[in-house]
């Protein structure tokens, strides 16, 4: 965040004005101006007011599949079992990870993410470390310390291929599926999830489904007899449902009403927003982008990049009983194509924060159960590490205990609020943490303005 812009943002209570209204005061070095506050507000209002268009036949098919437990090996688990529409497409329970498999007794290894606000996720790429502007509101972001030039040097030391060093986009915590369609096959075939024995078993289930006729009407009569085509069509239908159905991206939170100029943040929520943006306090907006893009798209509170934040090891996961097992995100073991990239070990995707206040578990390993704990971790990881990590036999604290020692250098220590040392005051005090949470609560879909 450019200091001048952040100063403007804190000054004016109305979010639209505060964030976007002051293009004439932007530094000359940032050429294309942001749309005016009025344009932003009109776009936000249109998102709230425009009724959703009817689903295409392909998306309707995907909808039926999404809620169909008969597509699983157990016969009892659908996508919605883990991605419940009543919980922003996250689980209804508070388990750190869910149980699946043929007998619904196999524990997964990662927390179930929300499926909301994935529709603009770019394909996974590892791109050169130059700031470009894909019109995602990034211009507003500081020359954020480049990944391989961060103070504290964490990834700097490890950056073996600086020319291709910024991973971005994709589905799952490690971006291993590039698109929604590519992702859809994962859970259907995962032995810990919907556990179809193989693709032929899945095809047989689709052929027996009550919507097999609809499938043929959309994709052709032979579609389900041609294994490769049939499955690609099925995954496409699941993706279309998630892209077309408004319930996945409603853009009707209080925050969106504020953008539209139809609601005001409370004093506490405003304080929370200021902390969210302040590069020396929360600094959340450095990664969880909170400004509309130049083409007026609403912010989704992620830059789609990956970071190593070193969440503590979660003893509740069966996989973690093996001391040699580490879930290292980009470098595996769930994804297998980047195992040679030591500099990417421990990095996970920055998730959207929309609907985050409805979640019951947080971070890729589900180790946290409240926003308060998440925020305390953010500000105490460096200042009071003993609160979060176990002690070794000799009494020293084993920081970053969910990464093998060789990869702990990848942990982000350059960005606030991590840029402090043991014993320093945390970047946020208790009241500030509560203010930030009040702001995060404005990101929950389904706000109804008073009156």
End-to-end CA distance of the chain: 36
Least Cα distance to 159 among 342, 28, 370 occurs for: 342
Nearer residue to ligand HEC within complex by CB, 9 or 296? 9
- State whether residue 125 is helix, strand or coil: strand
Interface positions, 414-443, toward ligand HEC (CB under 6 A)? 415, 417, 436
Options 1, 22, 180, 270; binder of ligand HEC; rule CB under 6 A: 180
Please identify, among the stretches 75-83, 246-254, 291-299, 443-451, the one whose residues bind ligand HEC according to the rule CB under 6 A.
Answer: 75-83
Q: Determine the Cα–Cα distance for residues 319 and 111; give it in Å rounded to an integer.
A: 13
Please identify, among the stretches 146-154, 180-188, 219-227, 386-394, the one whose residues bind ligand HEC according to the rule CB under 6 A.
Answer: 180-188
CB of 136 to ligand HEC, least distance (A): 15
Nearer residue to ligand HEC within complex by CB, 82 or 260? 82
Give me 379's structure tokens. Answer: 């500000």
77 is an interface residue for ligand HEC by CB under 6 A:
yes
- DSSP letters for 387-425: GTSPBPTTS-B-TTTTS-GGGGGGS--SSTTS---TTSP
Angle at 66 between CA 64 and CA 69, to 5 degrees: 90
How many residues touch ligand HEC under the rule CB under 6 A: the total is 52
348 is an interface residue for ligand HEC by CB under 6 A:
yes
Nearer residue to ligand HEC within complex by CB, 43 or 89? 89
Give me 104's structure tokens. Answer: 């619904």
Please identify, among the stretches 43-51, 130-138, 172-180, 403-411, the one whose residues bind ligand HEC according to the rule CB under 6 A.
Answer: 172-180
CB of 82 to ligand HEC, least distance (A): 3
Q: Determine the Cα–Cα distance for residues 355 and 445; give it in Å rounded to an integer.
A: 6
CB of 41 to ligand HEC, least distance (A): 25
CB of 35 to ligand HEC, least distance (A): 26
108 is an interface residue for ligand HEC by CB under 6 A:
yes
183 is an interface residue for ligand HEC by CB under 6 A:
yes
Residues contacting residue 410 through CB under 8 Å, at least 6 positions apart: 154, 155, 158, 308, 342, 343, 344, 345, 346, 347, 403
124 is an interface residue for ligand HEC by CB under 6 A:
no
Q: How many helices (H) and strands (E) in the chain?
A: 14, 6
356 is an interface residue for ligand HEC by CB under 6 A:
yes
Nearer residue to ligand HEC within complex by CB, 26 or 183? 183
364 is an interface residue for ligand HEC by CB under 6 A:
yes
Q: Determine the Cα–Cα distance for residues 234 and 69; give it in Å rounded to an integer.
A: 15
The answer to whether 68 touches 78, Cβ cutoff 8 Å, is yes
Nearer residue to ligand HEC within complex by CB, 113 or 261? 113
Options 202, 203, 270, 311; binder of ligand HEC; rule CB under 6 A: 311
173 is an interface residue for ligand HEC by CB under 6 A:
yes
CB of 49 to ligand HEC, least distance (A): 28
Options 136, 168, 182, 193; binder of ligand HEC; rule CB under 6 A: 193
The answer to whether 129 touches 146, Cβ cutoff 8 Å, is yes
Options 19, 112, 274, 438; binder of ligand HEC; rule CB under 6 A: 112
Nearer residue to ligand HEC within complex by CB, 43 or 59? 59
362 is an interface residue for ligand HEC by CB under 6 A:
yes
100 is an interface residue for ligand HEC by CB under 6 A:
yes
- DSSP letters for 143-165: -PPPGGG-TT-HHHHH-S-GGG-
Q: Determine the Cα–Cα distance for residues 345 and 86; give it in Å rounded to an integer.
A: 34
412 is an interface residue for ligand HEC by CB under 6 A:
yes
- DSSP letters for 302-370: --SBEE---PPP-TT-GGGGSTT----BTTSSS--TTTT-GGGTTBEEPPP-TTGGG-SSBSTT--B-S
- DSSP letters for 36-58: PHHHHHHHHHHHHHSPPPPPPHH
Q: Determine the Cα–Cα distance for residues 388 and 276; give it in Å rounded to an integer.
A: 22
Give me 303's structure tokens. Answer: 């830059």
Q: Which residues bind ligand HEC (CB under 6 A)?
A: 77, 79, 81-83, 98, 100, 108, 110, 112-113, 115, 118, 171-174, 180, 183-184, 187-188, 193-194, 238, 282-284, 286-288, 307, 309, 311, 334, 348, 350-351, 353, 356, 359, 362-364, 371, 374-375, 378, 412, 415, 417, 436
């Amino acid at each position: 965040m450019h200091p001048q812009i952040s100063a403007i943002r804190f000054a004016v209570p109305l979010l639209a004005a505060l964030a976007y209204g002051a293009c004439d005061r932007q530094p000359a070095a940032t050429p294309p101006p942001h749309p005016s506050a009025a344009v932003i507000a009109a776009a936000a209002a249109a998102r709230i007011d425009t009724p959703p268009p009817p689903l295409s036949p392909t998306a309707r098919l995907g909808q039926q599949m999404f809620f169909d437990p008969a597509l699983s090996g157990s016969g009892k688990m659908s996508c919605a079992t883990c991605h419940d529409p009543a919980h922003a497409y996250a689980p209804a329970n508070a388990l750190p990870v869910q149980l699946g498999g043929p007998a619904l007794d196999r524990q997964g290894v990662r927390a179930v993410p929300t499926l909301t606000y994935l529709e603009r996720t770019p394909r996974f790429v590892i791109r050169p470390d130059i700031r470009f502007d894909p019109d995602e509101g990034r211009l507003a972001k500081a020359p954020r310390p480049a990944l391989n030039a961060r103070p504290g040097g964490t990834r700097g030391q490890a950056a073996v291929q600086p020319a291709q060093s910024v991973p971005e986009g994709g589905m799952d915590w490690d971006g291993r599926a590039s698109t929604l369609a590519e992702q859809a096959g994962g859970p259907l075939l995962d032995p810990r999830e919907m556990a179809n024995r193989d693709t032929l078993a899945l095809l047989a289930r689709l052929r027996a489904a009550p919507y097999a006729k609809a499938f043929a009407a959309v994709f052709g009569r032979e579609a389900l007899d041609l294994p490769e085509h049939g499955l690609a069509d099925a995954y496409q239908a699941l993706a279309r449902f998630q892209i077309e159905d408004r319930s996945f991206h409603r853009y009707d939170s209080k925050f969106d009403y504020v953008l539209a100029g139809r609601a005001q943040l409370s004093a506490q929520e405003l304080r929370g927003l200021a902390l969210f943006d302040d590069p020396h306090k929360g600094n959340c907006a450095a990664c969880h982008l909170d400004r509309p893009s130049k083409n007026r798209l609403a912010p989704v509170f992620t830059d789609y990049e990956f970071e190593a934040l070193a969440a503590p090891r979660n003893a509740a996961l069966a996989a973690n009983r093996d001391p040699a097992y580490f879930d290292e995100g980009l470098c595996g073991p769930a994804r297998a194509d980047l195992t040679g990239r030591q500099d990417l070990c421990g990095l996970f995707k920055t998730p959207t924060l929309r609907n985050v206040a409805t979640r019951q578990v947080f971070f890729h390993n589900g180790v946290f159960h409240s926003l308060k704990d998440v925020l305390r971790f953010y500000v105490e990881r460096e200042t009071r590490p003993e609160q979060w990590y176990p002690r070794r036999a000799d009494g020293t604290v084993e920081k970053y205990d969910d990464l093998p020692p060789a990869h702990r250098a990848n942990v982000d220590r350059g960005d606030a609020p991590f840029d402090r040392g043991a014993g320093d005051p945390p970047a946020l005090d208790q009241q500030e943490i509560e203010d930030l949470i009040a702001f995060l609560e404005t990101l929950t879909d389904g706000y109804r303005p008073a009156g």
